[in-house]
Chains A and B, each alone.
Chain A
Amino acid sequence: MNVRAATRVFDTLVIGGGIAGLQTALDLADLGLSVAIVEKDASIGGKMIGLSKVFPTLDCASCITTPKMAAAAHHENIRIFTLAEVSSVVRRGEDFTARVTLKPRFVDEDRCIGCRLCEYACDADVADDFEGGLSSHRAIYVPFTNAIPQIAVLDPEECNLCGKCVKVCPTDAVVLDQKPREIEIEVRSVVVATGFETTPMGARSEYHGNEIANVISPLTMERLLAPHGPYGRVLRPADGKVPDSVAFVQCAGSRDRSLGVPYCSRVCCMYAIKQAMLLSGSLPFADITIYTMDIRAFGKGYETFYHNASAMGIEFVKGKVARIDEVDDRNVEVRVEHIDERGQVEERRHDLVVLSLGMLPAADLRDRMPIGVSADGFVTVPKPTIEPCRTTEEGVFVSGTAAGPKDIVDAIAEAGAAAMAVSVYLKKKEPEGCAACAVTAGSDTP
């Protein structure tokens, strides 16, 4: 891929290469429109590629995500910029100019063949964020098995400049003095698909999420459950013990005004139930408890999924966990009012506790582009009912969780809707043309 040319022209800029951004881009590209995907990480795939399996079908997440990633990567109308961040989007007449910062990868994208020889040669170990910090990778590494592009990236913070990678690279692709570069992308429309981050583990001090090793985030649990994850099986982080008792604490980062997150994050009930089901598959004798205020299994087939989980013996306790403490043997104690016919306060011990964190917007674009953002931090959608993907700015659309928490099914549906809205908008701007005539592939396409 050639990323040296200064200016590029596309029909649409999609900010974010997660599942929503990819789906929007694919739908647009299938209509013959040219699309630039700008992804801040080293690989596209977003949060979904890090998940183990997905509800309610229990398909592996990779099996859904990777084909879409591959399809985008191979699509003739799509250009992907990774390690790239949009620093500003400015309206110029009918069009937009986006300034994009290409962060240094320290590896020449055109030359790297993804052979990983550099990775094998590197001595510096770095905690692997993709694996929830439970395992490590080298300072120069291919982000993960299914990453696209399959190109190495070097972490300058952790590199000890030994130069081994430079020596072993068969294609001389390692460039230790790479600098950040700015490029401009000219587009006729923009889709914000910047996605979400989870509520911080330490958001609620009574949960001691950052202090107790056996209190983990749901994304870490996803990695523990993924068969190709850090341990290849479910062990608790503090001491590698196989947990006999696992608890999920719902609404640990949502529906809580004391955290400043009053809204429901929409996915936590279902991912907790899913993780509980997967756990009971891999640890058949473990006791699994889900502490919850309301179970929100609202989607197609979700209630049956929830019902099956109950039938499998997963215990649902109604009550918001108030306090989590570490007790003997690195076990974890939760205190909760069990709201049932007995109505008692219970202190229950578990080997491992998962905080079902909520969703916060991943990017605040207010200062970078002309776009309204609501009090909850998500992109404002002025008419959500009948125009769910339109933003306050004409020509700028939103896709997926950038417009509020959503599960994968809903995010993908909305991504398609965003693509439709974009194409109708572009059509209106060009009354004489047809979609096929409007194709203006990246100007630097060889």
Chain B
Amino acid sequence: MSARADPTLMKEIGLFGAADVSACFNCGNCTAICPLSKGDTVFPRKVIRYLQLGLTGQLEESPEPWLCYYCGECSATCPREAHPGEIMMATRRWLISRYDWTGISRLLYTSKAWEIGLSLVLGLIVVMLFALLHGPVVTERVELNTFAPVPSIETADWIVAALMTFFLLTNAGRMFRFTMRGVKAGLSVYLSEISTFFVHMLFQKRWRECHGPKIHWLKHFLLVTGYLTMFFLVFVFLPWFQTDGWNVSSLFGYYATAVLLYGTVDAIIGRLRRREEIHKHSHHTDWMFLFLLFSIALTGILVHVFRVVGLPHATYYAYVIHLAVDAPWLILIVPFGKWSHLLYRPLGMYLVSVRARATSTAAAGGVVPNPV
């Protein structure tokens, strides 16, 4: 059965930020220059090829986009200036929208207006909720926990977290289904490879195999640690973290905000300068991601500073704004937007290793004839 070429996918991927798919003349330079491209998982050309031919099914099944860390070497050396690195990036965006069954991802990625509009609506909802439901406003001193009682916030936290997790997990489930189409692996295989998932999630180990300076990896690693720290502070340790005084959790808060600020500012400057390959192309969702993350860090610091300095109103306003930017972040960007790569990337890596293990086991067991 032959695969049917579909000429419309190239245009579709253009909406996700890949402008030059057709410029590729399939020389294979990108695939061969990439140190991560080896064995059975070769990219970016394979992905570009699926795009050129419009092989939507094959593309959905491809974990390869998640194996690329976008060092940009392929783009810098591409003889046709087809920007394969950016095509991989766009394909990741497209995949996120394919995994997402709600269609929200697609809206965010393909429409600036929808992304900004939805973010504003969510922010306004937060502001309105506060306007209607906030606790007593103590003006003599800063009493944030009175203005925004931890149990309420925690409840909201958990609602959001539940929603987020639901969408993320159902989408990840779809990714799993796409990627493992036609692959049979026993539970033991899945269990034996589970460490892969966590190692890659926490350390982005593969990135270190990329050529060139390791600084990009380091920056990203710090950003991830900062982000995860903040995540746990807010979702698990909120009662300790959101206090009106100082406690040891603040130390973690300092670290997290510092690396988040540094990371986002550094990325924003990079994207404005457009010197390195990874910063040459910016999709509107990239800007939104950085803007929200930067705003979260900045407003978080402001809340803390105002509270420490003892400015009650400023603290409360800053807090509302802080949560108003948190909302679109948590509700849009995390499950439906760029953040989700934090889940899909290690999951992709995990599924690749499961697939490899399954294939080799099957081959060894004589189920599938060894091709060699």
Contacts and interface: CB of A to CB of B under 8 A. Distances in A.
Contacts of B80: 257
Given A343-B42, A345-B42, A336 B79 contact: no
Given A257-B80, A345-B37, A319 B46 contact: no
A322 interface: yes
B32 A337 contact: yes
Contact of B29 (A318, A320, A338, A344): A320
B79 A345 contact: no
Contacts of A251: 27, 79
A13 interface: no
A264 to B, nearest CB: 11
A349 to B, nearest CB: 15
B33 A335 contact: yes
Interface string B69-81: 0000000111111
A256 B38 CA distance: 24
A293 interface: yes
Chain B: number of interface residues, binned into ranges: 20 to 34
A323 interface: yes
B27 A257 contact: no
B325 to A, nearest CB: 40
B149 interface: no
Contacts of B29: 320-322, 337
A330 B26 CA distance: 31
Interface in B1-56: 25-33, 37-38, 42, 45-46
Contacts of A376: none
B12 to A, nearest CB: 24
Contacts of B46: 343
A319 B76 CA distance: 18
A320 B79 contact: yes
A161 interface: no
Contacts of B26: 339
Contact of A320 (B27, B38, B42, B81): B27
Contact of A336 (B32, B77, B78): B32
Given A293-B27, A345-B32, A255 B79 contact: yes
Nearest to B75: A258
Given A251-B27, A258-B78, A320-B29, 20 more contacts: A204-B77, A206-B77, A256-B79, A257-B78, A257-B79, A258-B77, A258-B81, A293-B27, A318-B28, A320-B79, A322-B28, A322-B29, A322-B30, A335-B32, A337-B31, A337-B32, A345-B31, A345-B32, A345-B37, A345-B42
The 8 A-B pairs at the shortest CB distance, nearest first, are namely A337-B28, A322-B32, A320-B27, A322-B33, A256-B79, A337-B31, A319-B28, A320-B29
